[in-house]
């Protein structure tokens, strides 16, 4: 059986490694083959970008060599897919090669698309790519005082970023000794400060304590050249430094191949199969599922898909459904953190923040690499 994995980020890497451990014998006996195609020879620890944007983590510290993260049974090529020919079970890559498959996994991720809101790309900074994080660092470092506004588009990856970027910048200007010259204006698309109600309640108290102004039910419509953001709801927010969490889209290759609106592929919420396709699995940010676009989501989905692909080889059938599981760390400042864990049947109920969870989160920044290798 030929298994082809497109995308070498969090989701694709865990599928490949988890699967290689389960079917190593079959691969070595020539009965199965695992091939990964990716767009880069490097793997980025994306959460680190937030710290790059304030100068705490150098860009080279974000990366590992992708090959070094993969089990030896996995054939790896840096050659991005340009055409998905799903009717004929094959893809064509940038270099012109054709790869056929019996089972396909697509995990090409998502990207910030500030250009989809008029004026946003020109007038705001964000921490979603290395180049963007470095530009954010430049503007944050040069900022002498005024209003910092945080604006949030939907959908976006990592639901904690709107709050985290606000707390991190607040601390940054405090440490720099200019807190008294900086006002914060936090906005959020729905009628509270965060999607998760218990987190929103907690943030409300913290923001009041720190003197951070908030506007909810605020969805960006356009940004004019004076950094004034106009909302769909008819309100405006002015900024001297505009920090955005841009709306996201899936990769262009998905849009070009007409596999899903805005590059998000219609996916069955339990089987994680692409709708209408029996041998195409979708993992991570690329799904159109209404769940968090986060590394943990990609991780739990990847484990489900790897187990099912191995089961197809060993039992001739898939063996389990994805239960909607998501896990998010929530940094609460003062070296305290908590976490939220939930699935389709169990709502989140975060406990009071403590130091132990904070230190575990710090350790996770390194453990990420063990997690990508499928060891955690």
Partner 1 sequence: MSERKIIDARGTYCPGPLMELIAAMKQAEVGDELEILSTDEGSVNDVPEWINKVGHEMVGTTQEGDVWHIVVRKAK
Ligand X SMILES: Cc1cc2nc3c(=O)[nH]c(=O)nc-3n(C[C@H](O)[C@H](O)[C@H](O)COP(=O)(O)OP(=O)(O)OC[C@H]3O[C@@H](n4cnc5c(N)ncnc54)[C@H](O)[C@@H]3O)c2cc1C
Closest CA to 44 of 151, 131, 150: 131
What element of type H or E holds 182?
Answer: strand 182-188
Among 27, 57, 196, 309, binds partner 1 (CB under 8 A): 196
Q: 155 touches which of ligand X, partner 1, none (CB within 5 to 8 A by kind)?
A: partner 1
Strand 110-112 to 248-250 pairing: antiparallel
Part in contact with partner 1 (CB under 8 A); list of ranges 54-62, 152-160, 222-230, 364-372: 152-160
Supply the minimum distance, in Å, between the C-beta of residue 97 and ligand X.
12
End-to-end CA distance of the chain: 27
Closest CA to 186 of 154, 202, 164, 159: 164
DSSP three-state, residue 231: strand
How buried is residue 139: exposed, middle or buried, by Cβ count under 10 Å (0-12/13-18/19+)? middle
Residue 275 touching partner 1 (CB under 8 A): no
Residue among 120 and 298 whose Cβ is closer to ligand X: 298
**CA-CA distance, 89 to 280, in Å (whole number)?**
9
CB 257 within 8 A of CB 83: yes
Residues 208-247 interacting with partner 1 (rule: CB under 8 A): 217, 219, 232-234, 247
Residue 341 touching partner 1 (CB under 8 A): no
Residues 39-78 interacting with ligand X (rule: CB under 6 A): 39-40, 46-47, 49-50
Number of residues forming the site for ligand X (CB under 6 A): 36
Residues 325-354 interacting with ligand X (rule: CB under 6 A): none
Torsion angle of alpha carbons 293, 297, 301, 303, nearest 10°?
140
Among 22, 99, 157, 170, binds ligand X (CB under 6 A): 157
Strand 248-250 to 280-282 pairing: unpaired
Residue among 305 and 313 whose Cβ is closer to ligand X: 305
Q: 120 touches which of partner 1, ligand X, none (CB within 5 to 8 A by kind)?
A: none
Among 58, 261, 370, 375, binds partner 1 (CB under 8 A): 261
CB 38 within 8 A of CB 80: yes
Q: 253 touches which of partner 1, ligand X, none (CB within 5 to 8 A by kind)?
A: ligand X
Query: What are the tokens at 84?
Result: 């998905």
Supply the minimum distance, in Å, between the C-beta of residue 269 and ligand X.
16
| Cis peptide leading into residue 155 (ω within 30°) | yes
Q: Which residues bind partner 1 (CB under 8 A)?
A: 154-155, 159, 189-191, 195-197, 217, 219, 232-234, 247, 261-262, 269, 289-292, 324, 326, 328, 340, 342-345, 347-348
Residues at the interface with ligand X (CB under 6 A): 6-12, 37-40, 46-47, 49-50, 80-81, 107-109, 127-128, 157-158, 160-161, 251, 253, 284-286, 293-296, 298
């Amino acid at each position: 059986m030929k298994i082809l994995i497109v995308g070498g980020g969090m989701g694709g890497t865990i599928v490949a490694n988890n699967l290689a451990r389960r079917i190593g014998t079959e691969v070595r006996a020539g009965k199965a083959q695992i091939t990964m195609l990716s767009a880069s020879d490097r793997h980025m620890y994306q959460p680190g970008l937030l710290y790059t944007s304030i100068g705490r983590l150098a860009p080279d510290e974000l990366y590992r060599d992708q090959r070094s993260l993969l089990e030896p049974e996995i054939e790896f090529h840096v050659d991005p897919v340009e055409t998905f020919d799903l009717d004929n079970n094959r893809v064509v890559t940038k270099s012109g090669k054709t790869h056929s498959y019996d089972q396909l996994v697509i995990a090409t991720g998502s990207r910030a698309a500030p250009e989809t809101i008029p004026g946003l790309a020109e007038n705001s900074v964000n921490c979603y790519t290395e180049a963007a994080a470095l530009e954010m660092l430049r503007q944050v470092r040069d900022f002498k005082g005024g209003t910092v506004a945080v604006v949030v588009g939907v959908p976006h990856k990592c639901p904690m970023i709107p709050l985290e970027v606000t707390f991190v910048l607040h601390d940054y200007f405090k440490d720099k000794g200019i807190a008294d010259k900086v006002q914060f204006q936090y906005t959020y698309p729905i009628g509270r400060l965060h999607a998760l109600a218990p987190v929103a309640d907690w943030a409300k108290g913290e923001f009041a304590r720190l003197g951070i102004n908030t506007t909810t039910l605020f969805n960006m419509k356009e940004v004019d050249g004076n950094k004034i953001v106009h909302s769909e709801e008819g309100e405006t927010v002015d900024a001297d430094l505009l920090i955005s969490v841009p709306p996201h889209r899936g990769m262009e290759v998905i849009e070009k191949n007409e596999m899903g609106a805005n590059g998000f592929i219609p996916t069955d919420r339990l089987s994680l199969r692409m709708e209408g396709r029996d041998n195409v699995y979708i993992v991570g940010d690329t799904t159109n599922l209404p769940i968090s676009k986060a590394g943990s989501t990609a991780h739990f989905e990847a484990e489900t898909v790897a187990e099912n692909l191995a089961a197809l080889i060993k039992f001739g059938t898939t063996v389990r459904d994805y239960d909607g599981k998501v896990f998010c760390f929530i940094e609460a400042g003062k070296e305290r953190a908590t976490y939220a864990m939930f699935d389709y049947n169990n709502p989140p109920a975060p406990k009071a923040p403590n130091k132990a969870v904070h230190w575990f989160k710090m350790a996770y920044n390194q453990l990420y690499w063990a997690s990508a290798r499928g060891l955690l």
